């Protein structure tokens, strides 16, 4: 005899508990297991029946059943009738690998909300931290804390170039001395051996922007030797975007390391259309054998932090040093000229209503206000110069994150998304539960990135086929990270799975009301356990820390 539970609606109960019940029932009712309990054990823990499998490879969808045992996809067949602890008929919905977010800022948020609801509810099962040159240094204590945390998703990290440089040199604006470069090399190597997937850089931020290309080449070499890749927020995404893309390619070529241009975009109206040239450069480099890839978030509005409105020389030494420069009348005037120029010619194009405060840690009521609102609140008329003064005031108070609305063009977004070297990543974070005011009014990418690609760019705009889009969210990023056991629906792979209705999946997060979860996603499993079902997070926390290929290897003498 065979026993199985058909489509149990109990979402909060652990599979293990089901299994215990099954054994108890079999025992009490005299089922044939006098010698061995194993003889009666269900073959599988979970079977997803009537799946439309999109396996992540980009190949067409096909019908099958998927069986999971432990944390692994154990069997895929047209019909699976073996006993299972739980069988769910997914009613021809898509069964795809869980999405892998290769650029995520959830370092703080994962400890506040270890269920990472905003990611899981999008179908994300793995997030990679340490982007834009910023990570803990050293990584080991952070990774140990993460490993000890009971969490719903898998998480890994980069080692950040800016953080490494800061550790060795502070915030100075100069080239590294040979011994400093040696120390940075050692820290990057240690980061890789602690488990980083590669080196990230943020070359618009202090201190990353003070580093010459040669420094990045030297550090990227270390990463390449240890099987990692280089992911860069490039030096300029506006007027000098072409040169910045050329630099990222050159770093990959000279260091012999796979290189990735992260959240690729052409910012500010005069630069719209430049993705034609950047993609041409990238395609040409790939044709020469340089392993260049791209990631992208699917929104026309960008995120920014206020120090990026200040010239690099005025940021040398960090925020405190910037504040003391602003107290010097001559320096303040000089900085104001530059900041006004950025407000006029940069992403906002002189329109202060486009810069919307997302989160100010020192005054939560400011979230949702525009830079124009801040100017008015300070009793001034709305001009670019007064906007610069408002930027200074914000920097003097503390720090703020902001969203700059409509700073990108849809044709660029679609062109980049279509490119075969492009994968999808959110650039978002883990802002906390809905209703939480601490996280302010964040960029909607934290809540909607992956469903937005599936609904708007696949279903409505038909920029990608569904299978292509899933590939860009799963197998492609998994390959980039060297994760050989994730990112595909295949026997033997880890059971990170998302089930969604391709006709209904959609993002609902908007710029004005970003804290809204997507629709059309019914089940998410991480390492074989259901973390999301029937519209709710479950009680299990099966997430793991994922480590790069050099993790645990011994230092070279
Ligand atoms: Zn960035």
- 416 CB-near residues (< 8 Å, 6+ apart): 264, 265, 275, 279, 294, 296, 422
528 Rama sector, left if φ>0, alpha if ψ -120 to 50, beta otherwise: left
What spacing in Å lies between the alpha carbon of 86 and ligand 1's midpoint?
Answer: 42
What spacing in Å lies between the alpha carbon of 451 and ligand 1's midpoint?
Answer: 21
Taking 80 as the threshold, does the pLDDT of residue 549 lie above it? yes
What spacing in Å lies between the alpha carbon of 141 and ligand 1's midpoint?
Answer: 24
- 505 CB-near residues (< 8 Å, 6+ apart): 451, 454, 455, 518, 519, 520, 521
Q: Which of 54, 3, 62, 60 is nearest to 27 (CA)?
A: 3
- pLDDT, residue 38, reads 52
pLDDT band at 425 (very low <50, low <70, confident <90, very high): very high
- pLDDT tens-place string over residues 34-56: 444 455 689 999 999 999 999 99
Long-range contacts of 172-179 (CB under 8 A, 24+ apart): 172/207, 172/210, 172/316, 172/317, 173/207, 173/210, 173/312, 173/313, 173/316, 174/210, 175/212, 175/215, 176/211, 176/215
Q: Report the distance separating Cα 477 and Cα 239, nearest Å.
A: 29
pLDDT band at 18 (very low <50, low <70, confident <90, very high): low
- pLDDT, residue 554, reads 55
Helix, strand, coil share of the chain (percent; to 5): 35, 20, 45
What spacing in Å lies between the alpha carbon of 8 and ligand 1's midpoint?
Answer: 43
Longest Cα–Cα distance in the chain = 90
What spacing in Å lies between the alpha carbon of 411 and ligand 1's midpoint?
Answer: 21
What spacing in Å lies between the alpha carbon of 129 and ligand 1's midpoint?
Answer: 12
- pLDDT tens-place string over residues 459-486: 999 999 999 999 999 999 999 999 999 9
What spacing in Å lies between the alpha carbon of 335 and ligand 1's midpoint?
Answer: 23
Q: Please check whether residue 443 is in contact with residue 299, taking contact to mean a CB–CB distance below 8 angstroms.
A: yes
What spacing in Å lies between the alpha carbon of 404 and ligand 1's midpoint?
Answer: 14
> Of 2-6, 130-134, 510-514, which range is least confident?
2-6
Q: Which of 251, 221, 281 is nearest to 421 (CA)?
A: 281
Mean pLDDT of 68-76: 98
What spacing in Å lies between the alpha carbon of 132 and ligand 1's midpoint?
Answer: 5
Tokens of 411: 């044709």
What spacing in Å lies between the alpha carbon of 174 and ligand 1's midpoint?
Answer: 22
What spacing in Å lies between the alpha carbon of 104 and ligand 1's midpoint?
Answer: 9
- pLDDT tens-place string over residues 480-527: 999 999 999 999 999 999 999 999 999 999 999 999 999 999 999 999
What spacing in Å lies between the alpha carbon of 47 and ligand 1's midpoint?
Answer: 40
Q: Report the distance separating Cα 443 and Cα 449, nearest Å.
A: 10
What spacing in Å lies between the alpha carbon of 522 and ligand 1's midpoint?
Answer: 31
What spacing in Å lies between the alpha carbon of 427 and ligand 1's midpoint?
Answer: 7
What spacing in Å lies between the alpha carbon of 302 and ligand 1's midpoint?
Answer: 10
Mean pLDDT of 205-223: 97
What spacing in Å lies between the alpha carbon of 232 and ligand 1's midpoint?
Answer: 8
What spacing in Å lies between the alpha carbon of 131 and ligand 1's midpoint?
Answer: 7
% of the chain surpassing 70 pLDDT: 92
φ, ψ (nearest 5 deg) of residue 17: -65, -40
Q: Which of 527, 499, 523 is nearest to 69 (CA)?
A: 527
- pLDDT tens-place string over residues 303-344: 988 889 999 999 999 889 999 999 999 999 999 999 999 999
């Amino acid at each position: 005899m065979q026993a199985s539970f058909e489509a149990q609606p109990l979402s909060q109960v652990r599979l293990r508990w089901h299994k215990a019940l099954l054994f108890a029932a079999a025992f009490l009712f005299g089922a044939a297991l006098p010698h061995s309990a194993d003889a009666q054990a269900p073959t599988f823990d979970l079977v997803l029946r009537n799946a439309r499998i999109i396996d992540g490879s980009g190949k067409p969808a096909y019908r099958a059943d998927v069986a999971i045992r432990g944390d692994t996809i154990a069997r895929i067949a047209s019909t699976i009738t073996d006993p299972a602890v739980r069988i769910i008929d997914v009613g021809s919905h898509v069964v795809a690998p869980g999405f892998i977010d290769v650029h995520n800022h959830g370092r703080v948020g994962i400890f506040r909300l270890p269920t990472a609801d905003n990611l899981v509810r999008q179908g994300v099962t793995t997030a990679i931290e340490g982007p834009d040159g910023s990570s803990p240094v050293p990584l080991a204590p952070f990774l140990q804390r993460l490993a000890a945390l009971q969490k719903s998703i898998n998480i890994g990290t980069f080692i950040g170039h800016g953080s490494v440089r800061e550790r060795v040199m502070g915030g100075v604006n100069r080239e590294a001395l040979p011994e400093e470069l040696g120390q940075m090399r050692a820290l990057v190597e240690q980061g890789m051996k602690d488990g980083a997937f590669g080196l990230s850089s943020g070359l618009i931020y202090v201190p990353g922007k003070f580093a010459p290309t040669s420094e990045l080449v030297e550090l990227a070499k270390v990463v390449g030797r240890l099987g990692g890749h280089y992911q860069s927020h490039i030096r300029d995404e506006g007027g000098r975007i072409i040169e910045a893309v050329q630099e990222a390619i050159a770093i990959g070529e000279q260091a012999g390391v796979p290189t990735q241009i992260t959240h690729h975009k052409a910012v500010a109206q005069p630069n719209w259309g430049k993705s034609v040239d950047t993609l041409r450069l990238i395609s040409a480099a790939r044709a020469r054998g340089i392993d260049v890839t791209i990631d992208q978030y699917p929104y026309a509005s960008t995120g920014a932090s206020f120090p990026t409105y200040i010239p690099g020389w005025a940021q040398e030494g960090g925020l405190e040093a910037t504040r003391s420069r602003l107290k010097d009348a001559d320096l303040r005037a000089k900085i104001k000229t530059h900041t006004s120029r950025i407000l006029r010619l940069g992403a906002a194009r002189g329109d202060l209503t486009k810069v919307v405060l997302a989160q100010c840690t020192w005054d939560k009521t400011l979230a949702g206000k525009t830079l124009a609102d801040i100017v008015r609140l300070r009793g001034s008329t709305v001009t670019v110069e007064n906007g610069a003064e408002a930027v200074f005031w914000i920097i003097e108070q503390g720090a703020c994150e902001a969203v700059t609305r409509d700073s990108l063009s849809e044709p660029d977004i679609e062109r980049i998304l279509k490119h075969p070297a492009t994968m999808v990543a959110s650039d978002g974070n883990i802002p906390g539960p809905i209703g939480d005011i601490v996280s302010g009014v964040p960029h909607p990418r934290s809540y909607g990135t992956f469903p937005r690609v599936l609904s708007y760019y696949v279903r409505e705009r038909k920029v990608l086929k569904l299978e292509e889009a899933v590939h860009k969210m799963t197998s492609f990023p998994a390959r980039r990270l060297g994760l050989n056991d994730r990112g595909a629906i295949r026997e033997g792979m880890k059971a990170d799975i998302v089930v969604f209705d391709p006709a209904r999946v959609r993002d609902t997060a908007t710029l004005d009301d970003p804290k809204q979860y997507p629709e059309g996603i019914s089940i998410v499993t991480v390492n074989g356990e259901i973390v999301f079902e029937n519209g709710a997070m479950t009680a299990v926390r099966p997430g793991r820390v994922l480590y790069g290929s050099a993790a645990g290897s011994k230092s070279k003498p």
